[in-house]
Amino acid sequence: MYSINDLNEINETLKPLKALAIREQQSIYGLSGMVYTPHIDAHNDICIKKAAILSDLKSKGLIAFTEAEIISAKLMALYRRTKNHQMVEYNGSTYECRFSPLKLSKSGKSVSKWAKYWLRKLPTGENDKTWESQVRETWPENFIIKNVDF
């Protein structure tokens, strides 16, 4: 269904959109209410498409699963009932369970669905940026808040 060329094409399309999305996000910082954000929406859509292509290529065995995907799957199975910001030790590394709002209620005031993911902590206590970028690239839909469908 997808090929490596599709992935390269998506990456090239993503670069200018990311810059526009960042500028748009900075310009609306501090505003509340419904804001029209076409560049952020386009960036998010392409990130999700890229993740779908990567997932398809990985399921076919054309690309290897990342360390973040493998360890996150093991942590999800081992620690199903962890709470937000709870730390666990696994294979000599510390991981923090995080939850992000995934879907809002109709009013937009409460969260109806949460996304669960794991972040690796460095010995200094900071997040491992490489790990975090792998998590965001693999599951971009976990970092996009959606309103409930009407």
Give 33: exposed, middle or buried? Use CB within 10 Å, 0-12, 13-18, 19+: exposed
Give the dihedral sign, CA 79/81/83/86: negative
> What is the reported pLDDT for 146?
60
Is pLDDT above 60 for 64?
Answer: yes
> What is the reported pLDDT for 104?
77
Q: What is the dihedral of CA 141, 143, 145, 149, to 10 degrees?
A: 10
Check if the beta carbon of residue 85 is closer than 8 Å to that of residue 99.
Answer: no
Task: Tokens for 143, please give them.
Answer: 């970092």
Read off the pLDDT of residues 81-104 as tens digits, 9 standing for 90 and up: 999 999 999 999 999 999 988 877
Please give the span between the terminal C-alpha atoms of the chain, in angstroms, as a whole number.
32
At residue 149 the predicted structure's pLDDT band, cuts being 50, 70 and 90, is very low
Look up the pTM and report it: 0.66
State how far the Cα of 52 lies from the Cα of 57, in Å rounded to an integer: 9
Task: Tokens for 109, please give them.
Answer: 């005031």
| Residue extents of the structural domains in the chain | 1-64, 66-150
Residue 89 half-sphere exposure, CB side, CA atoms within 13 Å? 2
Q: What's the average model confidence in pLDDT over 64-77?
A: 91
